[in-house]
Amino acid sequence: WAIVNKMKINPDKSKSASFTKARVRVRIKYYFGDQLIPEVDSVKYLGIIIPSNLNWAVHVKYTLRKAWRALHFVRPILKKGNNTTHLAYTALDRPILEYGSVCWDHYRSQIKALNRVQKRAAKFANNTNKTGGLLYKLSLTYLVYRLCALFKAYTGRRAWGAIGDRLARPCYLSREDHIWKIRTKCQRTDIGKHSFVNTTILNWNQLPADLLRLCLVS
């Protein structure tokens, strides 16, 4: 692979990781030539921490620390209540919370921790104590991001081919279903149940047929 793509690999900067939910793990040793590649429990790829057990708690904690630091940094600006407050929030704090959120998912306790940062920042940025409507708009924004990502996979976009190849049509369509419905798979673990693909498919199947017809046919 490295020869075909004309890439040089530095074994000293390489790590190996095995992703599995098995309680008893089989330790596999990887070598690059004669040099052993050390094994790690998690890897950081494009700013997202991927643990070997596929639990996103470590990445959520990492994101929270960065978001709180950014919020304390811009807090003096947000308290002034001028036109730059919303810009400071959307440019410095909000991207930290949203980065990669389309791909990594979390449980209720982790969602509450992320919402605490959102509430505090939204209060400062909009100079108000009412955050219900603001968080509702943010949740809609996340939903749009997720549906757009699934749309790219469904339409066969090159970067999303790995996900698009696994999408299948259902065996049965009811009168209320649209013709672009995607088959949902029974998941045995919470990681699979709350994964990006599984949860977004449920939202996709609930979209109005006229909306999907407008997007897909046109």
Give 106's pLDDT tier (boundaries 50, 70, 90). Answer: low
Are the C-beta atoms of residues 197 and 182 closer than 8 Å to each other?
A: no
Give 93's pLDDT tier (boundaries 50, 70, 90). Answer: confident
Q: Identify each DSSP E strand in the chain by its residue range.
A: 30-32, 35-37, 42-45, 48-51
Q: Does residue 114 carry a pLDDT above 70?
A: yes
Mean pLDDT of the chain: 78
Are the C-beta atoms of residues 17 and 40 closer than 8 Å to each other?
A: yes
Are the C-beta atoms of residues 169 and 183 closer than 8 Å to each other?
A: yes
**Distance of CA 198 to CAs 13, 15, 105, 132, 150, Å?**
34, 30, 11, 27, 10
pLDDT in the model for residue 170 = 85
Q: Does residue 34 carry a pLDDT above 80?
A: yes
DSSP string, 126-156: HT-S--HHHHHHHHHHHHHHHHHHHHHHHTT
Question: 3-class DSSP state for residue 83?
Answer: coil
Highest mean pLDDT among 21-25, 57-61, 103-107, 143-147 belongs to 57-61
Give the number of C-alpha atoms closer than 13 A to the C-alpha of residue 46, restricted to the C-beta side.
5
pLDDT in the model for residue 12 = 84
pLDDT in the model for residue 55 = 78
Of 99, 79, 185, the C-alpha closest to 142 is 99
Residues 6+ apart with CB under 8 A from 86: 125, 126
Q: Does residue 78 carry a pLDDT above 70?
A: no
As a whole-number percent, the residues of the chain with pLDDT over 90 amount to: 0
Give the tens place of pLDDT for each residue, 142-180.
677 778 888 888 888 877 777 888 888 888 888 888 888
Question: How much is the average pLDDT of 24-51?
Answer: 85
Give the tens place of pLDDT for each residue, 194-203.
777 888 888 8
Give the tens place of pLDDT for each residue, 44-70.
888 888 888 877 888 888 988 888 888
pLDDT in the model for residue 103 = 67
User: Does residue 25 or residue 107 have the better pLDDT?
Assistant: 25
Give 184's pLDDT tier (boundaries 50, 70, 90). Answer: confident
